[in-house]
Structures are given as C-alpha cells and as structure tokens.
Structure 1
Amino acid sequence: MAACASLVSAAALARRKSWDWAAFSFSSAALLSRMVERTPRKGPVFRWKTHASFLRRPNLPNLAYKKLKGKTPGVIFIPGYLSNMNGTKALAIEEFCKSLGHAYIRFDYAGCGSSEGNFEECTVGKWRKDVLSIIDDLAEGPQILVGSSLGAWLMLHAAIARPTKVAALIGIATAADSVVTRFNQLPTEAKKEVEVKGIWKIPTQYSEDGFHIIKYSFIKEAELHCLLKGPIPVTCPVRLLHGMKDEVIPWQTSMQVAERVISTDIDIILRKNSDHRMKEKEDIKLLVYTIDDLIDKLTTSN
C-alpha cells in the first residue's frame, strides 16, 4: 500500500500531452462547453448526444447507458447513491477515454436517472445485478471499474463475481458497508426508533431537504452485502482515492478496504483538502492520471 500515486510511466506522460487541463470547468454544462471551445480538433466539432441507449433485460428494469467504443482495457464508471451517469466525473472520464481511444461505459442504476424501475424498491443487491448486467452484456474484454462512493462498494462485488473480466479497480470515497456501519453506530434507542418507523433520516448537505431517507428494509438487505468483516477476494490492481475532508464516508474506510483486499497491488491516495464528491479540478486530474497509469500497467504487462 502507498499513500501517494504510482510513478508515472513515460508512455502515460506521452498520452497526457493531448489532454487539455485548461478545458475544465466544474459544472457539467460548463465542462462540456469549454472542452468544445478550447480543445483543438480537426473536422466538425463533436456534439454530445442527449439521448441514451437502453440495455433490455427480461424481468428486470431496462438500464440507460452510453457507450464509447474503443481499445481495451475499457473503463466503466459506477455512480454513487442518488447520482447518475451525467455527473462531472463520469463526463470527464468519457472525454479522457475518447482522447486515448479507449472504450468507456457510463450508466444509470435501476430507479435512477434515465433508467426504468422504482427507486423505492431498489436495494444494494439489485444495483449489484445492474453492474453485472453492464459488464456481462455491454462490456467487451478486460475492464477498469471506477466506482464512486456506493459505486465503489459495488465495484468490489463485481470484481469478486467477474474476476476474469475485471482487470483493475479505482475507488473514489469508497463506501463499503457504509450504510450498515453508520446505522450500527447509532444508540440503541435510535436504532429501535428506525426499526419501528421503518425509515431513517440521515442529515446531508447533498439534498434540498437536508436529509436522505433510507428504509429500514434497505439497511437490512445491505447487511447481506457487507465486505469488511473478512478478507475481500479481489486480486487485481486497486487504487483507492479519498478526500480527508469527506464528511460522508471517513477516509479510514478506504484504509479498511485496503487491509481486507487480498491483492498485493493496492495504493491509497489521500487528498488533504478534498471532500466526498472529489470533483474539483485537481481531483479530476488525479482520477484520470490514475486511470491512465492503470491502462499503461495493463497494456505493457500483456
């Protein structure tokens, strides 16, 4: 384990010359407009499509996704809780993969964004199936999974379930076991109140209401998917990025994940002034550099 990024290879540095960091802005609309305005291009300006494709699944909600064809290893972005495939990190990774010519997939969980399904009926287990559907039915060849918060918890499950297809993992504020851990830290009376009422209101700055509502049934189902009680059978390279000012998931959670994962190729990268979302310019730069280094590692080792 290491507390800093891996040494950057010459090949990775060469690829980065085509990446225009001055193009960044940190709302999605501004991000896209600046990339179009300031990145030199030949031929017609690339226009972002506003519609998504759908992965049709018998007896399961259809999933909205966008897929960029290209070289392997491909990259799949797995969003966080109540997030979707149109966030800053998802779009920045797409532009980066496009510049390198690598395949990329971003998608919405069932019940979220443009996907079908009822959010109220969703569980960690159902979203785990969504991730596996994307890997099984859309991805071609080895994949680097980039999971944000809840998505990083799910990426670990995907790596366990599909070890031959998942080539590497990048966790951003990895929220492994988070809802269960946080619930178990409540006083006994508070836990009983949640059980009786059937809901738990968690204060948050990321909701207009000032809180997220979590069903007690969601918590109990999530217990079936906890990973931190024993070894995590993931053997591929793992990179864990975490902000030390994360007020949602403590950075120590990434340390716990690193201790449990059996892979010997694992780095923990802490950013002192970053928060939970890790979507500022330097956060995004670190993220795509990490993807670039893993692509270089995976392609030069084959």
Structure 2
Amino acid sequence: MTSPETFETPQGRRLAYHLTPGEGPCVVFLGGLKSDMEGTKALHLEAWARRTGRAFLRFDYSGHGLSSGAFEEGAIGDWAEDTRAITGALITGPMAPVGSSMGGWQALLLARAVPDRIAGLVTIAAAPDFTEDGYWASFSDTQKSQLESEGRVELPSDYMEPYVVTQRMIADGRDNLVLRSPLDLPFAVRCLQGTADTAVSTQTALRLLDHAISPDMRLLLVKDADHRFSDGPCLGLIEAAVTDVLRLAAAT
C-alpha cells in the first residue's frame, strides 16, 4: 500500500490523504468521528473509483488517523476547516461528497459553504447536529456539571473505545448546526440509513429529509443494517447512490 501524501492547512494542521486521479466530479469520502481513511467504505469506494476511472479523495481530519493533532483538541468546526481547505486545494472542479456519520454533517457543512462546487451528495447514517441533539440532550445534570468543571466527559461507544466529549466540542458544535436554519441543497442528494443503527436513529434521517431543501432528495432505509453500513449489500448501495448522483449531475 502506498504511503499517503500530506497537505498543510492554513491553520497549520497536517492532513494525510490519498488522491486518485480520474474524471470528475471528484468523489470525496468524509469519514466519521474517530474513524480514518483506511475504513472499509473509503477503501471500497477508492477501488470502485479506480475501476471506473473516477477521481477520488480520501483523507484524515486533524486528530484522526495519520493526520496531526490530538482528537480531544478538535471540534466540528476544525474538521470543517480541514475539509474546505483540502478540497479547495486539491480539487479544481466540482465534487461529490460522500459523508458517513459525522462525515454526513461535514458534507452538509461543505455544501452550505460552497454549494456551487457540489455536483451531488451522498450521506451514510448522517449525524448532523449530534453534539447538541445526541450528546448534550442526553447528558445528565452530573455530566453537564462535570463538563463545566473538568472540561470533558467520557461516553461509551458500541463501536470503539469511549468518546471523549469536551466542552469546546459542544460549544463549537452549536456554531455549526445545520438543522436549525434553512439548508439549501440545490443538487441531487441520496441518504442511506440502517434501521438497526444504534448510533444514529432513523428519526435523524427523517428529520434531515424533512428539513433540507433539494430538487431531488431521497432516503433509503435498509432493514437490519447497522451503523457501519459496510457489508457487501450495503457497499453496493453506496456505489449505486454515488453513481446515481453523478449521472444526474452529468445530465444537467
């Protein structure tokens, strides 16, 4: 496996990435919280891009994977800065973000920031506004007090070691909410969601579908699929969704 390239953001964060040359729009995989660009979905999409001659970018946010920084020091806004910086520098034409979990939130933030550069968008178990609607809303009074006094709390995860949630992550998340104000997505959007997902509920997917403004937005619920959404059938559904939004972009 080839070593990743490194890109330095204007904020001085060093991001590891792999860029596959090919035809545009460039497909950009945006991973989830504490995940990295070596995950099953990212590698599967890269292999698909190579087979089909499609440009493709995968990278690690700061504090993730092989990029610089500590996870506990980061927040949603930092990773949005990372995403805008690396896509702005490495991709010259339109792009099609594919956001998984927290990456779905990042894809929506990117689309809100540069809507004219988005050819189409795919989300997988998207988790917009989860710092407010998931973390903060579920915190007990004890946890809220601990966050204020110690600046952090630890939360168990069904998928990996406990998450460290910092006071800065909560505050910064409030500055980047996307479900509280109009969310215009003027391109095709495909949302994928498993009904057995214990990290992101189908209600979140339905709320996003109801809230966003799009000429062609569809939600596919997959019975018994979990948050990873990475078995063979689910990977095939991701391919199909990406192919669909790219086809529609080419037709416009």
User: What TM-score do you get using the length of structure 1 for normalisation?
Assistant: 0.80
Alpha carbons 1:235, 1:261 under 8 Å: kept: no
Q: What corresponds to 1:191 in structure 2?
A: 144
Q: Tell which structure's C-alpha radius of gyration is larger.
A: 1
For 1:116 and 1:201, locate their aligned partners in 2 and report how far apart those are by CA, in whole Å.
22
Residue of structure 2 in register with 1:152 after alignment = 104
For the 8 Å contact 2:190–2:245, the answer to whether it is kept is no
Q: Is residue 283 of structure 1 aligned with residue 230 of structure 2?
A: no
Which residue is equivalent to 2:223?
272
Partner Cα separation in structure 1 for residue 113 and residue 11 of structure 2: 21
1:99 to 2:51 alignment: yes
Aligned match for 2:26, one of 37, 62, 74: 74
The equivalent residue for 2:81 is 129
Secondary structure, aligned partner of 2:116: coil
User: What SS class does the counterpart of residue 104 from structure 1 fall into?
Assistant: strand
TM-score (norm 2): 0.95
**What is the one-letter code of the residue matched to 2:158?**
Q
Selected match of 2:158 from 205, 208, 212: 205
Shift, 1:259, TM fit: 1.3
1:82-121 to structure 2, matched below 5 A, reads: 82-121=34-73
Whether 2:8 is the aligned partner of 1:56: answer yes
Residue identity matched to 2:23: K
- Matched-pair identity in %: 31
Q: CA deviation at 1:189?
A: 4.4
* Structure 1 SS opposite 2:235: helix
How well do the aligned residues superpose, as a CA RMSD in angstroms? 1.4
The one-letter code sitting in structure 2 at the alignment partner of 1:131 is T
Alignment of 1:232 onto 2:183: yes
Find the residue that maps to 2:97 and give its secondary structure. strand
Shift of 1:297: 1.5
Number of aligned positions between the proteins: 251
User: Residue in 2 aligned with 1:298?
Assistant: 249
What is the rounded CA distance, in whole Å, between the counterparts of 2:120 and 2:6 in structure 1? 26
Stretches of structure 2 that go unaligned for 5 or more consecutive residues are: none
**Residue correspondence of structure 1 range 223-262 to structure 2 within 5 A:** 223-262=174-213
Contact 2:190 2:217 in 1 (8 A): yes
CA distance in 2, matches of 1:131, 1:56: 12
The AA in structure 1 aligned to 2:137 is N
CA distance in structure 2 between the aligned counterparts of 1:266 and 1:255, rounded to whole angstroms:
11
Deviation by residue 1:267-298 (Cα, 9 ceiling, x = unmatched): 00111111111011111010001111222221
Check 1:58–1:231 CA distance in 2 against 1; reply closer, same or farther (3 A cut). Answer: closer
Q: CA deviation at 1:58?
A: 4.1
Q: SS in structure 1 opposite 2:88?
A: helix
Change (3 A) 1:300 1:234: closer
Give the Cα–Cα distance (whole angstroms) in 2 for the partners of residues 59 and 155 of structure 1.
20
**Partner in structure 2 of residue 8 of structure 1:** none
